[in-house]
Amino acid sequence: MPKDRTKSTDALGDRKTSGASNDLRIRAAWLYYIEGMTQSDVAEKLGVSRIMITRLLSDAKRRGEVVIRIQSPLAPLVEMQNALEKRFGLARAIIAPLEDEGENPTRVIASAAGVYVTQIMENNLTVGVGWGHTLHTMLQFVEGRPLEGVRVVSLLGGIAQARRFNPAEFAWQFAELFDAEGYLISAPALVDSVQTRHALLEHCGLEQIFQMAEGCDVALLSCGGISTLTTSYRLGHVSEAERNSLVEAGAVGDLLYNFLDKDGLPVDHPVNDRSIAMPIERLKRIPNKVLISGGAEKVSIIRAVLNSVRPSVLITDEATAKRLLDGPAP
């Protein structure tokens, strides 16, 4: 019995210590982030060292107890957002600040997109998803939560060599954030012939997935330029010779492996006939489409997508927005 009481007392002491540590961490976070005190002032008020405060704040962020959002956009960005909405017929434009125009905008766009997607997710929503580096990066900025009746539908087939940016992997990870049902296209995004594509669509149940995608409430899309083959998903799927011939055919980039010209029309090229992806004409029928993309090499394809499928929302960066507005009106 004495031994058991000792164990019980030790456990109670551990819980009290843990509770005190939790309380100190939350108090430190509140004083620093909410009341705007400096770390030195917080340390003095709580009677601990400044190094301890730094550790407590870092621990609070790591545990997800502190989520930082900047809700008020910069005034110049609001003006650009209004201009984009007017020029391209958007219901909403969201522009992420970018201090250096030579900087890769992927992360700032992904951050803004994560906040927006978190806000629009609700019960019984059917979401069609594309893929790419920007969408994959967005996952870390989306606040997942259990929802009921949510379905996530991939809008194109898989890419064997693209590990992190595989469409199926992205769709699955996104679905898990909301305890949603995932519907994947169990075929490559690009097959060897038109005949193979026809057989897969007609006899392997893929057409049912596209029919479900056509009835989505919202589609999350990204697009890719064609100036280089540096993007991992094109390696081994679209050869350098095919890329050159696509450029010669007038392609400025792709949306879900639909290679488009500057006006947003699919180019006359064999690659477009071999893709297992949501066709442009069917994609247009989805009522709410969110285009999440940016970068100097993507301006032409973003403009083409805006002209073609008419997204309701564009999420991009400051430098890309300027380039879009400097170009000709659609």
Q: Is residue 67 part of a domain?
A: no
Size of the chain, expressed as the number of residues it contains: 330
Residues 308, 206, single domain; the answer is yes
Residue type at position 177: L
CB within 8 Å of 244: residues ≥ 6 apart: none
For residues 140 and 118, the answer to whether their CB atoms sit within 8 Å is no
* 45 C-beta neighbours (distance < 10 Å), count: 14
Q: Is residue 19 part of a domain?
A: yes
Q: Is residue 111 part of a domain?
A: yes
Residues 87, 121, single domain; the answer is yes
How high does pLDDT run on average in the chain?
85
For residues 276 and 187, the answer to whether their CB atoms sit within 8 Å is yes
Beta-bridge partners for 121:
none
Residue type at position 179: D
Residues 273, 310, single domain; the answer is yes
Q: Is residue 70 part of a domain?
A: no
Q: Is residue 69 part of a domain?
A: no
Collapsed DSSP state (helix, strand, coil) of residue 315: strand
Q: How far is CA 192 from the centre of its chain?
A: 29
Q: Please, what sign has the CA dihedral across residues 326, 328, 329, 330?
A: negative
pLDDT for the residue numbered 210:
87
Q: Using CA atoms, how far apart are residues 170 and 135, in angstroms rounded to an integer? A: 8
Collapsed DSSP state (helix, strand, coil) of residue 258: strand
Longest dimension (CA), the chain: 86
Picking from 62, 94, 113, the residue at the C-terminal end of a domain is 62
CB within 8 Å of 242: residues ≥ 6 apart: 271
Q: Is residue 310 part of a domain?
A: yes
Residues 33, 116, single domain; the answer is no
Q: Is residue 68 part of a domain?
A: no
Residues 21, 87, single domain; the answer is no
Please write the tens of the pLDDT for every residue from 51-109: 999 999 989 888 888 876 666 667 788 889 999 999 999 999 999 988 777 889 999 99
Q: For the chain, give the percent of residues with pLDDT over 90.
A: 56
Residues 46, 150, single domain; the answer is no
Residues 39, 118, single domain; the answer is no
Out of 14-23, 84-93, 147-156, pick the least confident: 14-23
CB within 8 Å of 234: residues ≥ 6 apart: 224, 243
Q: Is residue 237 part of a domain?
A: yes
Out of 14-18, 66-70, 209-213, 290-294, pick the least confident: 14-18
Segment 304-316 shows an average pLDDT of 96
CATH of the domain at 134: 3.40.50.1360
CATH of the domain at 30: 1.10.10.10
**Domain around 293:** 75-326
Phi, psi of 190 (to 5 degrees): -135, 120
Tokens of 278: 């949501």
Residues 80, 53, single domain; the answer is no
Residues 126, 255, single domain; the answer is yes
Picking from 62, 84, 106, the residue at the C-terminal end of a domain is 62
Q: Using CA atoms, how far apart are residues 99 and 262, in angstroms rounded to an integer? A: 28
Block residue for tokens 């991009």:
316
Tokens of 124: 């019984």
Q: Using CA atoms, how far apart are residues 280 and 308, in angstroms rounded to an integer? A: 8
Phi, psi of 255 (to 5 degrees): -125, 110
- Using the predicted structure, report yes or no on whether residue 42 has a pLDDT greater than 50: yes
Residues 205, 179, single domain; the answer is yes
Please write the tens of the pLDDT for every residue from 100-110: 778 899 999 99
Residue 50, CA distances (Å) to 54, 95, 138, 283 in order: 6, 37, 33, 55
pTM of the model: 0.77
Number of structural domains found in the chain: 2
pLDDT for the residue numbered 6:
46
* 40 C-beta neighbours (distance < 10 Å), count: 10
Residues 179, 101, single domain; the answer is yes
Question: Residue 142's closest CA among 202, 64, 218, 197?
Answer: 64
Residues 97, 212, single domain; the answer is yes
